Amino acid sequence: MKFTVKSRGDDFSNTLQQRILQYLLDFGLSHDEKEPEMVITVGGDGTFLQAFHEYCNRLEDTAFVGIHTGHLGFYADWVPDEVEKLVIHIAKTPYQIVEYPLLEVVIRTNNEEIPPERHLALNECTIKSLDGSLVSNVEIKGDTFEVFRGDGLCISTPSGSTAYNKALGGAILHPSLASIQIAEMASINNRVYRTVGSPLVLPQHHTCLLKPMNDKEVQVTIDHFTLSHSRVKSIQCRVAEEKIRFARFRPFPFWKRVKESFIGG
């Protein structure tokens, strides 16, 4: 099997990365940074997100597993003490694959010559105005739902629902629900401006189309990276056809990870 190991870049993670690399080479596996079948990350969820984007053009052939070194580690759910156990699992035992849904984002500009930009997000896409409030038409399944006015909107995946979405008061969704969630950031609500106010959960095939209404520059984020756009016509969000594949070597149910990450014990 071909594998690669990605590190956050701090000394501790780098040392662990080298140890894992050597162990797996000793077990006869081959190191392939270009076309790995397994991507092992050492760091935190940030490191995991970076690795996901590095290999998101070959998701069907890639399984991910993460180790967290001092960070939260919602995706990266192995600890450094378990590394020996983990490498033996990787080298010797057939593993299960668990798939989680992703968010597809298509950005279209007013310039016809620029082709639409397509992105996949593991956590979320956010849209904010760089100058004043964001004013955006929100369409769901082809019908106008509301005009949003406020700081911005966050459209998240179920596994991303514990990240930015959670800070916005969104619900935590189990990743077996192929869906996306729209959460508001400080909407303006009064006699003149009205939004629904509650987070919305859309099933597969229900597309959400955001059309910024003022001619201002908007900032779009996809997971950890920021895109700036001056002439956005629309941002289309829906559940992606692609899924992320996790290599599972032991049961570690989602709700248990939620409990350990946010309640403790």
Name the residues annotated as catalytic.
45
Residues 123, 162: Cα–Cα separation, whole Å:
9
Shortest distance, position 192 Cβ to ligand NAP, whole Å: 28
Binding at 73: pick from ligand NAP, Mn ion, none (beta carbon under 5-8 Å per type)? ligand NAP
Farthest-apart Cα atoms in the chain, separation:
68
The DSSP secondary-structure symbol of 213 reads: -
Residue listed under structure tokens 């303006």 = 188
* 224 part of the interface to Mn ion, by CB under 5 A: no
206 in Cβ contact with 228 (< 8 Å): no
Q: Which is nearer to Mn ion, 45 or 146 (CB)?
A: 45
The residue whose Cβ lies closest to Mn ion is: 46
Binding at 64: pick from Mn ion, ligand NAP, none (beta carbon under 5-8 Å per type)? none
Shortest distance, position 251 Cβ to ligand NAP, whole Å: 19
Binding at 129: pick from Mn ion, ligand NAP, none (beta carbon under 5-8 Å per type)? none
Q: Which is nearer to Mn ion, 46 or 80 (CB)?
A: 46
Shortest distance, position 30 Cβ to ligand NAP, whole Å: 29
Q: Which is nearer to ligand NAP, 71 or 211 (CB)?
A: 71
The DSSP secondary-structure symbol of 81 reads: G
Shortest distance, position 222 Cβ to Mn ion, whole Å: 15
Residues 159, 154: Cα–Cα separation, whole Å:
14
Q: Which is nearer to Mn ion, 44 or 150 (CB)?
A: 44
For binding to ligand NAP (CB under 6 A), which residues are involved?
44-46, 49, 68, 71-74, 123-124, 159-160, 162-164, 167, 223-224
Residue 79 tokens read as 């600890």
The CA R_g of the chain, rounded to the nearest whole Å, is 20
Q: Which is nearer to Mn ion, 44 or 152 (CB)?
A: 44
Residues 137, 57: Cα–Cα separation, whole Å:
31
Which are the contacts of 250, defined by CB distance < 8 A and separation ≥ 6? none
3-state secondary structure of 197: coil
* 261 part of the interface to Mn ion, by CB under 5 A: no
Shortest distance, position 181 Cβ to ligand NAP, whole Å: 12
Residues 87, 107: Cα–Cα separation, whole Å:
40
Binding at 123: pick from ligand NAP, Mn ion, none (beta carbon under 5-8 Å per type)? ligand NAP
Binding string to Mn ion for residues 39 to 58, with x set by CB under 5 A, is what? -----x-x------------
Report the 10 Å Cβ neighbour count for 60: 8
- Angle CA 100–103–159, to nearest 5: 40
Residues that bind Mn ion (CB under 5 A): 44, 46
